[in-house]
Amino acid sequence: MNPVVVKLGGAVAESAADLVLELAENEPVVVVHGAGQQISAEMERRGLDVQFVGGRRVTCKDALEVVRDSMHDVNERLCAAIGGPAVPLFGDEIGLRATQVPTLGMVGDPLPCAPEEVLAALDEGLIPVVAPLAEGPLNVNADEMAAALAVGLGAERILFVTDVPGLLHGGDVVPVIGADEAGQLLDAGAFEGGIIPKLRAAITAAQLGVRAEIGRTAVVA
C-alpha cells in the first residue's frame, strides 16, 4: 500500500498526533514537520534577523544552528506524542538532497527521494517523523520537503495540516482548486506568507500524481 505523507506545521505538531495515529490504523504514514514559530522566537531571542522571501526563511549560518535546535525540539516532542511507532529522522542524516538557493542563504530546493531509512521504517509498520533538513546542511521548507518525499515515495496523497482551515480566498475556504488556477493566483500575488510555499508544494505534488489537500482544500491537477 502506498503511504500518505502528512505535513504538520510546528504550531500544530503535537496536537495532531492523534490524527497521525488514526491515519496509521489504515495506511502507512510518513510525517514531515516544521518548526516555524519556534525558530522565529529563538532567532529573535538571539538577536538574529527574521526575514522571509516568498514564504521561505532566509537562513544564515547562525540561523541554521537555530533551525536545527528547534527542529530537534519539535521532533522529540512530536515523537513522544505519537508514542512507540514514531521513528525520529533528520533529513540531512538520511540522505535528503536539495539544490541550494544562494539568494536565501543556506536554504535548498528539495529533490524527490525515497530514503532507505524511511522505507525501512514503513516496512516495519512504524511512522517515520522527518525534520526537513537536507545534506549540506541546508534548511528546507517543510511543505516543499513533504512534497518531495511524497513524489519520491509514490505516495497515495499528501495532507498539509495547519492552524488554518484551508486555502482562503476572498475570506472563504476554497473547497477545490486546479493546479493551473492556483499557480496563476500565486503568480498574480493573490497570497502572501506561509501559504505560498504550501500551495506551491501542493501544486507540485498534484501535477506529479499525488493527491494534495491543504486542510479542507483539495488541489487537483
* pLDDT tens figures, 5-50: 999 987 777 788 999 999 999 999 999 999 999 999 999 999 999 9
Counting runs of H as helices and runs of E as strands, what totals does the chain give?
A: 7, 16
User: What is 4-220's CATH topology?
Assistant: Carbamate kinase (3.40.1160)
Which residues, including other chains, have CB under 8 Å from residue 47's CB and lie 6 or more apart? none
67, HSE (Cβ side, Cα atoms, 13 Å): 27
Domain map (residue ranges) of the chain = 4-220
Q: Are 59 and 139 contacting, i.e. CB atoms less than 8 angstroms apart? A: yes
What are 215's three cell numbers? Answer: 486542510
Nearest CA to 139 among 101, 175, 196, 193?
101
Q: DSSP label at 32? A: E
Task: Give the whole-number percent of the chain exceeding pLDDT 90.
Answer: 89
pLDDT, position 199: 95
Q: Kindly state the cell numbers that stand for 191.
A: 497570497
User: Residue 220 pLDDT > 90, yes or no?
Assistant: yes
Percentage of the chain modeled with pLDDT above 70: 100
Average confidence (pLDDT) over 87-106: 97
List pLDDT tens digits, range 135-171.
999 999 999 999 999 999 999 999 999 888 899 888 8
Is pLDDT above 90 for 176? yes
Q: What is the reported pLDDT for 37?
A: 92
Q: Which amino acid appears at position 180 of this protein?
A: D
How confident is the prediction for the chain on average, in pLDDT? 94
**pLDDT for 58 beyond 90:** yes
